[in-house]
Structure 1
Amino acid sequence: MENKATEQTEINPHPYEYIHNPGAICEDESIFIVVLVKSKVDNFEYREAIRYSWGTSFKHLVFLLGASENTSIQNNVTKESQIYNDIVQENFIDDYCNNTLKTIMGFNWAHTYCHSSRYHLFVDDDVFVVKDNLDFLYRPPTPEQTLFIGRLFQNSVPYRDNGSKWYISWEDYPFDRWPPYIAGGAFVTSSRVTQMLHFAFPFVKYLGIDDAYLGIVSKKLGLRLTTWNGFMMNTPKRTHTKLNYRRIVAYHRIDEPQKMYTVWKNYLEFKKELRTPIPFKP
């Protein structure tokens, strides 16, 4: 009997077009890591805070945005893109329910324009990143390395309360538990995993809960999700106190742009103290 290829129909098309696309930033032949920051379209001050704080630690960093129906906001994004050339924006509406569209856009863009990068770091714009604590990524990877690492959730229950922003109907997801998934606020994928997810998205039913959706796609692909304690620590309210910069990769819920600068200042002081020799005491 003759073997025939099985045709699959796309059930999750992504028919959106770029408004802004800084694809040329990844023209380097060899890139270690690219940072993709999921940002609300009108969070101008958050993006500015990242650019002038922890974002300075990375050579390749972009912001992922949807579009605004407000002409003034959209015009300001255009100016921002012209100044910094770090905005990836498509023409879907930037809304919480479209977070999965934004995540898919990020993976598609990373694969298409930054496939030479060894790793891709996805974070939200209220997250502070300590680059030095990503040193575990420097271990020589295999060519086909399938790394998907962050804060792992297992046996999580979907929200069935239709008053919740995380609401998911039984029709959209008819199961009692989510498959294991990595929290969406901060995670790293190897280039190979980015590629695999990029090609799988069109064939997996869309869900508006982006991290749970990535868990579903990862399960279908047979990907192994890895947890790392350094990801996604909630930042204490008193952000002027020094945090555990020795171990944490990503601090979450920095609720004001100014606090991003405060945490960055404290981090620089911490690094300076590390370089200060211990006084000799006879």
Structure 2
Amino acid sequence: METKLSNRNVWKSLGADRAPHRCHIKTGFFLLLTLVFLLTAIAYVSGFPLETAVLPDTLYKKVLNQIRSYYVVTEYPPASENQTIFLKPKSVQQSPTQTTDISVHHHVAHPSNYHFTLDEPDKCSQWDPFLVLMVPVAPHQREARNAIRSTWGNESSVQGKAVLTLFLVGLTGGAEAQQQLEEESRQHRDLLQSNFVDSYFNLTIKTMVIMDWLATRCPQATFSMKVDSDMYINVENLMTLLLSPNTPRQNYITGYLMRNRSVIRNKKSKWYVSQELYPEPKYPTYLLGMGYVFSNDLSEKIVEASKEVKSFNIEDAYVGACLKQLGVAPSSPPDSSQFRAYLGQYNRENFLRVITTILRSPQQLIDIWKDVKQIKLE
């Protein structure tokens, strides 16, 4: 109702309630719209922030100012709804020398385009970890983070080696959610946050920001692992693999190998990738994104390779493309049965043998962890 009254008052102020002048008013109104469009276009090309000078400062614009070089927000739901934020790329082709703008259907994954709003820059110098477990997770998934903190994320020393677990999130989408996240960060000191919109489409950005943090804040670590928040990790078995004399400590990456995988061109699929983003019909060999472990020297190398490899929205396949650019071939694990997608019905012996597998819920992780730990105590 307020919008309707406001519009009516605007028209009255222009004289729209006077019938003889309606034609002129409409013409003037469209001329005004055209002028605004031209001013906006000039401002965009010149880089002048027109919206900050003319338009009110809303939450939408605060977020948009941080991602305006990459996307146009098409839906921005309240944080309480825990919905995905849908994005579409800008349709303006920019010069390839401009790192802050992108071509049509192309998002910039190189992490230099983003910065950390929550950080733990001294964590590795204090901890000196042999292994870092990096968990990309949505801001609202606190239950998943707490489940990890009480299970495999609580394993700080394994076979005499220091292990560090950290969580990476993007923007929360609301002041209240951000306040809660900052409080969680103060409590646990294990949260990293970067200023990209946290959505499924942006998982490639999320992964590259992880690589950047490892390269710039934690170069002393020997190994790192990118592991999803719905995973069970047997850290003992993982450490046994990493401490094996046959495991290289440079240019090494292993997990669940994906070979000879076709690029999905069906636009209805969540894994759709256009030919413009990735023209080849098949991906290079890559590691399934649920959990792959790598020698930490690769984090900086992958970041550098991303400058040359056009990004696309399948994050694990994109890392595979960066590895191909580097000339690094993913390694098969010594025992491929230790990296499992699903184990099916719970069997304790299976969980004692694996390194990774996907679970259904945070509570299942807690229950299985208690059972597996109990058998070790008996």
- Is the TM value for this pair above 0.5? yes
Which of 334, 342, 348 is the matching residue for 1:234? 342
Partners of 2:342 and 2:181 lie apart in 1 by 29
Q: How far has the Cα of 1:182 moved from its partner?
A: 0.6
Corresponding residue of 2:355 = 249
Corresponding residue of 2:140 = 42
Structure 1 residue 99 and structure 2 residue 203: aligned? yes
Corresponding residue of 1:67 = 171
Corresponding residue of 1:164 = 269
Contact preservation (8 Å) 1:35, 1:61: yes
Partners of 1:93 and 1:248 lie apart in 2 by 34
Q: Which has the higher contact order (CA 8 A, sep 6+)?
A: 1
Equivalence map 1:204-223=2 (5 Å): 204-223=309-328
Contact preservation (8 Å) 2:343, 2:350: no
- Aligned residue for 2:288, secondary structure, equals strand
- Aligned residue for 1:203, secondary structure, equals coil
The count of aligned residue pairs is: 263
Partners of 1:149 and 1:245 lie apart in 2 by 19
Matched residue type, 1:127: M
Question: Gaps (5+ residues) in structure 1?
Answer: 1-7, 274-282
Compare 26-35 and 98-107 and name the one that shifted more: 26-35
Corresponding residue of 2:217 = 113
Cα RMSD after superposing both structures: 2.1
Equivalence map 1:16-95=2 (5 Å): 16-28=114-126, 30-58=128-156, 59-95=163-199
Partners of 2:304 and 2:280 lie apart in 1 by 25
Q: How far has the Cα of 1:179 moved from its partner?
A: 0.8
Q: How far has the Cα of 1:144 moved from its partner?
A: 6.4
What are the Cα deviations for residues 128-162 of structure 1, in whole angstroms up to 9, with x where unaligned? 10011111211358996211111111110111111
Question: Gaps (5+ residues) in structure 2?
Answer: 1-95, 100-107, 157-162
Partners of 1:87 and 1:30 lie apart in 2 by 18
Q: Please identify which structure carries the higher strand content.
A: 1
Q: How far has the Cα of 1:184 moved from its partner?
A: 0.7
Q: How far has the Cα of 1:185 moved from its partner?
A: 0.8
Structure 1 residue 224 and structure 2 residue 329: aligned? yes
Instruction: Report percent identity of matched pairs.
Output: 30
- Structure label with greater radius of gyration: 2
Matched residue type, 1:129: I
Contact preservation (8 Å) 1:36, 1:62: yes
Contact preservation (8 Å) 1:29, 1:116: no
Q: Please identify which structure carries the higher helix content.
A: 2
Corresponding residue of 1:182 = 287
Contact preservation (8 Å) 2:118, 2:191: yes
- Aligned residue for 1:160, secondary structure, equals coil
Distance 1:267 1:111, change over 3 A: same
Partners of 2:267 and 2:277 lie apart in 1 by 13
Partners of 2:253 and 2:375 lie apart in 1 by 29
Partners of 1:243 and 1:123 lie apart in 2 by 22
Distance 1:256 1:142, change over 3 A: closer
Contact preservation (8 Å) 1:37, 1:122: yes
